Amino acid sequence: MSYKLFIPGPVAVSEKTLRAMAQPMIGHRSADFIALYEAMQPTLQALCYTQDPVYLATSSAWGVMEGALRNLVAKKVLCCMNGAFSDKWLDVATRLGKQAGALRFEWGQPVDPAALRAELAKGGYDAVTLIHNETSTGTMSDLPAIMAVLREFPDVFSIVDTVSSFSVLPIKKDELGIDVLLTGTQKALALPPGLALVSVSRRALDRAATVPDRGYYFDFVEFHKNHEKGMTPSTPVIPLIYALKSKLDEINAEGAEARYARHARLNATVRQWGAARGFKLFPEERYGSLALNCFANTREIDLPALNKILKTEHHLVIDGGYGKLKGKTFRISNMGDETDESIAALTRALDATLDKLSA
Ligand SMILES: Cc1ncc(COP(=O)(O)O)c(C=O)c1O
């Protein structure tokens, strides 16, 4: 059965993107690959608001997330934790044998810049991990305010996960002083999973060169050396790179600003729909994500039953809550290629399903 995903990643992939992937293979050391790689850099850099290169890594986002820790943490990393994905950083850092501290917030709360300042002021840290948009709770932290704090601690490298916010709103890497900005392709870029993007500041690259045991596959120094030749360190997932090129062309045609405005408009539409149906947003309104809405299941709807009807009768799927929020929240994505029409079709289907459940 085919159905359309409205979960917050992976999101629905268009026919056009799928077709872009189905092209004949090229060698990853060929002039054709170099031309493809180099043609994408200006748009990738524009989307990251950076002069630094944007490396392409064949992995899901966790590959470069783990890589960032291996490349930058020599003393101790501070992990800002306010949901399932940000909580996981601490676990991953510990598994890598890194010293790691936890700065915890309730799920649904954003990262508090003042608390971050107080913790960093204690000293001993050389890196911070942070998720801009915590997808598990639909909570967006105030990145400019957090980065203003991090700029007060120039010896601390910032590792910022923009997995579910990249291309949803402007994230000004250079202006904010972000050292490592990373994302995956299965969220707002609406590509299949398997490719990660990472942009690394010059000072972070210099730092990486001094950190031992940073491995090979995600070594930023290797990425940079190959980038200078228009290549990746190892054989990349070329079909996804074709898809990325196609998507970047689409973004250029739509215009980044128009894309941000579309995401904001569709996000507001879904939020209004939820409010009108008696569902409270899980985070405080002002910290609500622009990429998705995470609603508290205030009406205690049977979410598996809802999704079953939605899937079988309307060929649509939403998310029934992540981790410890399963059943207690539900999440609806407005990332990628969604339009006013596709969101209207979703809310109509949700209304019909809610009516059926309460009949
Ligand atoms: C904010 C955030 N960070 C990291 C990840 C992990 O990404 P991946 O599964 O691509 O490794 C996710 C996945 O949903 C995410 O939402």
pLDDT digits (tens, 9 = 90+) for 182-199: 999 999 999 999 999 999
Is the shortest distance between the CB of 161 and ligand 1 below 6 Å? yes
**Is the CB of residue 164 below 6 angstroms from any atom belonging to ligand 1?**
yes
Q: Which atom of ligand 1 is nearest to the CA of 63?
A: 11
Closest among 346, 294, 335 to 9, alpha carbons compared:
335
The pair of structure tokens assigned to 68 is 């960032």
Query: Cβ–Cβ contacts within 10 Å for residue 258, how many?
Result: 11
What is the SS3 string spanning the chain? CCCEECCCCCCCCCHHHHHHHCCCCCCCCCHHHHHHHHHHHHHHHHHHCCCCCEEEECCCHHHHHHHHHHHHCCCEEEEEECCHHHHHHHHHHHHCCCEEEEEECCCCCCCCHHHHHHHHCCCCCCEEEEECEECCCCEECCHHHHHHHHCCCCCCEEEEECCCCECCECCCHHHHCCCEEEEECCCCCCCCCCCEEEEECHHHHHHHCCCCCCCCCCCHHHHHHHHCCCCCCCCCCHHHHHHHHHHHHHHHHHCHHHHHHHHHHHHHHHHHHHHHCCCCECCCHHHECCCEEEEECCCCCCHHHHHHHHHHHHCEECECCCHHHECCEEEEECCCCCCHHHHHHHHHHHHHHHHHHHC
Is the shortest distance between the CB of 131 and ligand 1 below 6 Å? Answer: yes
pLDDT at 120: 98
Q: Can you tell me which residue has the tokens 């981790």?
A: 323
Phi, psi of 271 (to 5 degrees): -65, -40
Give the distance from CA 346 to its chain's centroid: 23
pLDDT of residue 316: 98
Closest by Cα among 55, 64, 58, 44 to 194: 58
Query: What is the C-alpha separation between 218 and 320, in angstroms, rounded?
Result: 33
Phi, psi of 19 (to 5 degrees): -65, -35
Give distance in angstroms: CA of 8 to centre of ligand 1: 10
pLDDT of residue 162: 98
Distance CA 198, CA 333 (A): 23
For residue 44, give the nearest of 235, 179, 186, 245 by alpha carbon: 245
Whole-prediction pTM: 0.97
To the question of whether residue 331 is assigned a binding role by annotation, the answer is: yes
Q: What does the pLDDT read at residue 34?
A: 98
Q: Tell me the Cα Rg of the chain.
A: 20
User: Could you tell me the CA-to-CA distances from 354 to 168, 214, 243, 295, 318 in Å, in that order?
Assistant: 29, 51, 36, 15, 13
Distance 201 CA to ligand 1 centre (A): 22
Q: 10 preceded by cis ω (within 30°)? A: yes
Other Cβ atoms less than 10 A from the Cβ of 142: the count is 15
Residue 188, ligand 1, Cβ within 6 A: no
How close is the Cα of 186 to the center of ligand 1, in Å? 9
Nearest alpha-carbon partner for 87 in 129, 127, 58: 129
Angle at 291 between CA 110 and CA 81, to 5 degrees: 25
For atom 2 of ligand 1, the residue with the nearest CA is 163
Quote the pLDDT of residue 179: 98
Please name every residue paired with 300 in a beta bridge, in sequence order, or none if there are none. none
CA of 197 to the centre of ligand 1 (A): 12
How far is ligand 1, taken at its centre, from the CA of residue 163, in Å? 6
- The number of the ligand 1 atom at minimal distance from the alpha carbon of 165 is 1
Q: Is the CB of 61 under 6 A from ligand 1?
A: yes
85 lines ligand 1 (CB under 6 A): yes
Where in the chain are the domains? 4-11+256-358, 15-252
Cα–Cα dist 348/57, whole Å: 39
> pLDDT tens, 77-90?
999 999 999 999 99
Say if ligand 1 is within 6 A of residue 36 CB: no
Sign of CA dihedral 3, 8, 106, 260: negative
Asked whether the domain spanning 15-252 has the same topology as the one spanning 4-11+256-358, the reply is no
129 lines ligand 1 (CB under 6 A): no
Pick the CATH number of 4-11+256-358 from 3.30.1330.10, 3.90.1330.10, 3.100.10.10, 3.90.1150.10: 3.90.1150.10
Ligand 1 pocket member 192 (CB < 6 A): no
60 lines ligand 1 (CB under 6 A): yes
| Secondary-structure class of domain 15-252 per CATH | alpha beta
- Positions in the chain whose pLDDT score sits under 50: none
Check residue 1 and give its pLDDT. Answer: 72
Q: Is the CB of 83 under 6 A from ligand 1?
A: no
Name the residue at shortest CA distance from atom 7 of ligand 1: 61
- Ligand 1 centroid–CA 273 distance in Å is 26
Q: Distance from the CA of 130 to the center of ligand 1, in angstroms?
A: 12
Residue 10 Cα, ligand 1 centroid: separation in angstroms?
A: 10
